[in-house]
Each structure stands twice: as C-alpha cells, then as structure tokens.
Structure 1
Amino acid sequence: MMTEVKETTNIFGIRAIIEAIESGSTINKVYLQKGLRGELFYELNKLIKIKNLTTSMVPVEKLDRLSKNSNHQGAVAQISPVEFYDLEELIEKTIEDKKTPLFLVLDQLSDVRNFGAIIRTAECTGVNGIIIQKNGSAPVNAETIKTSAGAAFKMPICKVDHIKDALFILQGSDIKTVAATEKTEDSIFNINFNQPIAIVMGSEHRGVNPSVLKMVDYKAKLPLLGEIASLNVSVACGAFLYETVRQRITEIKN
C-alpha cells in the first residue's frame, strides 16, 4: 500500500525564501506578486536569476491562497518533495553499470497528472532517468507523486536549462534520440530501440518543439486507425516505452 503523500511545502515571506534558496533547498517554483518592489525583493530576484529558478508573476489573491492568507510579503515558494539529478553524472553512472541507456525527455509537458502517469510507466519499463526543462514544465508536486503511485521517489529526474541542452549531452554520449511526432512517415515499428536511446515526448498541446525536432536522430509516429487525430501523451509514451521493452526482451531471448 502506498504511503500517503503530503502536500508540497509552501514557504512564504521574502527573507524565508532567500534563506531556503541559500541553504540549497530544491525549489519547484517561486510565485511573485505583480508590481512588487523594494530592496529585499531585488535581492530575492537577483538570487532567483543566479539559481535560474522558475518564477511566475501572479496577483496577490493567488499568493493569499497559497499562503492561506498569511503574511507572504508578495512571495511564495514551493519546495520540491524530491531531489533532482545531474544529467551528465546520471548518464555516466548508467553506462558504468553496463546498462543499455534508456532515457525519457519531456519537452515542456505541463499537466501534473500526465507527468505522474508517465513517471509510473517509466519506472515500470526500466527507464534510467527522465529529463525536463526548468521553465515551462509540470512541477513535481504532491499530485504528481500521487499519480505516479510513488514512482517519483524511485525515478531519477533531471532538470536542464533547455531541452536542446539535454539532446547535446545525450548525443555526445552516443545515445540516439527519437521524437514521438505525427510529422513523419516513419513508424515506431521501424525504429531500433535496442540501442542506447532517449525518447522525446512533446507537450499536450503542441507536441515536440520544431527546434527540437531538427536535432533528433529519428522521428517516429504511432499508427492511428480511428478518427481521432492524436493520443493522450501519457498513453503515447507508454506505447513507445513498451515497444522498447518488447524489442529488448526479444533480443535477450534470441
């Protein structure tokens, strides 16, 4: 039975957030009041930029809700319930363990339930790590963890400044990249997943970014036999991951 997941911790007050950042706490996101000014705010904003933290400018009503109407001073930060991994170190460890690398790259996936479902499937299919972008991606919060059935505590998750940075690192380590996209004639069944590979899944609304598509080694699509033009991203991701499992198990048996 899965342990109950506590809500993501919110801290509020500019000085408290500054101290949390300086102490090395893993910050999911910082919410700042629109139009906020002042010396302490500028100190916080400078630190946010140095640490490249995700921020969102919001009305005071949003901050009131997040802080349960406490004295937030125009700033609320969400502390992540999980620690993030360094991508290069994770790749190196995977190769040292003599595993055939299998990574999952999520190009600005925004829905926490889709994210949680993908983490769960990734853990079940032997993915070595999930890579997300620091800005514009769904956070790892209580709902993400609950939807993942706790797999978020087992699955290494890496944050990068940009998805293209991750592709450079992966390809530099001889890991092929394949994007799931309908903008290709190549079927998923024509791709060799029995090699070091990273699967790139796009966002719910626009798919994989065109600039990312230009960088990948392969593009592949799933056959759609009905009238609906696309699958839910977590379902499509599951299909890609289990095709990878099928090919690798078949190779082992042979």
Structure 2
Amino acid sequence: MENIIFGNHSVQEALNEKKDIDKILINMNLKNKFKDLTSQARKENVKVSYVPVQKFKKYDHLNHQGIIAEISDINYADFEETVEKALAKDEPATFLLLDGITDVRNLGAILRTAECTNVAAVILPTQGSAKVNSQAIKTSAGAAYKVNICKVNHLKDAIFYLQSSGVKLIGATEKAEQNIYETDLTEAAAFVMGSEESGIHHSIAKMLDETAKIPLLGEINSLNVSVACGMFLYENLKQKLNK
C-alpha cells in the first residue's frame, strides 16, 4: 500500500506535527468540511487536490472520511542546519539544487550520483519537483536514504542563503560561455540543474554567480539531465581532490 494516512483527525495531526506530506487528497464534494485544514495546509506549502469520489474507491475499506494524505517515503533534512554543518567542515562543501526536475527516474539517478560524490545536500523546491517516491528511491539504489535531501519553499531563498554563506552558485546551461573544465570548482559550490524542457528558470539564472556548459561535439545539442549532473559532480570532485 502507498505510504498514506487517512481521516480528518490523522491528517490534521500530521500537519500539526510538521510531518513530510507530499499531497493531501480531498473528496471534491467535501470542500467546505475541510476548509480550515486546507487553509493550514496551504500556509505550510502542502499541495491540496480536490478529486472525484471515485479516487477513493480503492480506500473504501478504510475510514478515510473523504481525506487522505500521501506521506513522504523519506525524512527530509533541515536546510539551514544541513548547510551550516557542511560549511563547518574542513573540506569545501558541494550542494546541488534541482530546478524543475520532474522525472522520478532522473531524480533517482541524480541522488545516486550525489551520494557517490559526497554532495552535502540535494535541495528541492516544495512545488514543481518530482517526488522522492518508491520509484525514485529504487532508481537511486537506496542513495535517497543516505544523502541529505532538503525541501525549501522557494529555490531563490536557498540561493540567497547559500550565497550569503560564501557558497558560489553555478548553473549548468548550454548557453554558458565557458565549459565546466575551465571553471574553478575548488571552493564551496552549489550547482543548479534545470529541467530538460526549459532549463534553469530565467529568474533563477539571473541570480547565479557563474554558468558553465559541457562541450558537445556531436549533432545532438543536449545531454540527459542526470548524465550532465554526473559530469558536473565528478569534475567538481576531481578538482577538489587535486587541490
């Protein structure tokens, strides 16, 4: 069975206890019944979806009362605490921000590489990102349980915080003038990877300290985002090891 909780009281308690809730499903005929709960959820940046009663058919054996919450399969790390711990260490830390990665298999592959390259934290936005669900965890070969994964309301806030902490923000984009092998990665750095469809959002791109690209010599003008991410992380690791 999916990792869920059900019923008005249980979902309310989960919200009060700040549990990692991916989404709340509410019978669309019962909108008014859960108004206060819905308002609280949205303040907490928890997604709420009103769905047809048929969506609850498979839960008929449960006393769901028309409301179900999908709970995260992992425990997310606290963003600020994780950053401060990483920066307090002797070696320069590496962070990874994912902007619009919606394919769970790409996310899983990225998490696997992040764990293998000692990334201090993978940072995801609460909205517009693939879930760290069972498929992502399987693709990660279990790395999702080992690497620090943080959720933030807005990636911009994470960027501000990292920059104010002395971390250089580097965006991966084919529009960059310099390639990754010409970029100094020996200090604390955070890489921003965008979606394959639209890349890094323009409002985030404007905030970055640098951008870098991967040289492409063939006719295809882009790499799968998980492959590109792996190349960035291993070039970063190589430079830090050779420092």
Instruction: Tell me the percent identity.
Output: 47
| Counterpart residue number, 1:246 | 238
| Deviation by residue 1:117-140 (Cα, 9 ceiling, x = unmatched) | 100000000100010101111111
The DSSP-based 3-state class of the residue aligned with 2:242 is helix
| Deviation by residue 1:195-245 (Cα, 9 ceiling, x = unmatched) | 110000012321110000000000111111112221111111001001111
| Structure 1 unaligned residues grouped into runs of 5+ | 1-6
8 Å contact kept, 1:8–1:141: no
8 Å contact kept, 2:97–2:122: yes
2: CA distance, partners of 1:203 / 1:159: 17
| Counterpart residue number, 2:42 | 49
- TM-superposed deviation, 1:20: 2.0
- TM-superposed deviation, 1:64: 3.7
8 Å contact kept, 1:105–1:199: yes
| Residues 92-101 or 212-221, more deviating | 92-101
8 Å contact kept, 1:18–1:47: no
Is residue 225 of structure 1 aligned with residue 217 of structure 2?
Answer: yes
| Deviation by residue 1:108-162 (Cα, 9 ceiling, x = unmatched) | 2111111111000000001000101011111111111111111111111111111
| Deviation by residue 1:53-109 (Cα, 9 ceiling, x = unmatched) | 1333444444445x4775544432111122112222111111222231100000121
Residue from 67, 85, 100 that aligns with 1:93: 85
Amino acid of the residue matched to residue 125 of structure 1? T
1: CA distance, partners of 2:43 / 2:115: 33
2: CA distance, partners of 1:57 / 1:108: 23
Is residue 10 of structure 1 aligned with residue 13 of structure 2?
Answer: no
Is residue 21 of structure 1 aligned with residue 15 of structure 2?
Answer: yes
Q: How does 1:54-73 map to 2 (within 5 A)?
A: 54-64=47-57, 67=59, 70=62, 72-73=64-65
Amino acid of the residue matched to residue 162 of structure 2? L
| Counterpart residue number, 1:4 | none
Q: 1:243 to 1:72 in 2, by over 3 A?
A: same
8 Å contact kept, 1:224–1:230: yes
Structure 1 runs of 4+ off > 6 angstroms? none
What TM-score comes out, normalization by structure 1 length? 0.88
1: CA distance, partners of 2:178 / 2:50: 42
8 Å contact kept, 1:64–1:70: no
The DSSP-based 3-state class of the residue aligned with 1:47 is helix
Q: How does 1:194-209 map to 2 (within 5 A)?
A: 194-209=186-201
What TM-score comes out, normalization by structure 2 length? 0.92
Q: How many pairs does the alignment contain?
A: 243
| Structure 2 unaligned residues grouped into runs of 5+ | none
8 Å contact kept, 1:187–1:223: yes
| Deviation by residue 1:22-57 (Cα, 9 ceiling, x = unmatched) | 233221222334464223x10220220232213334
8 Å contact kept, 2:38–2:48: no
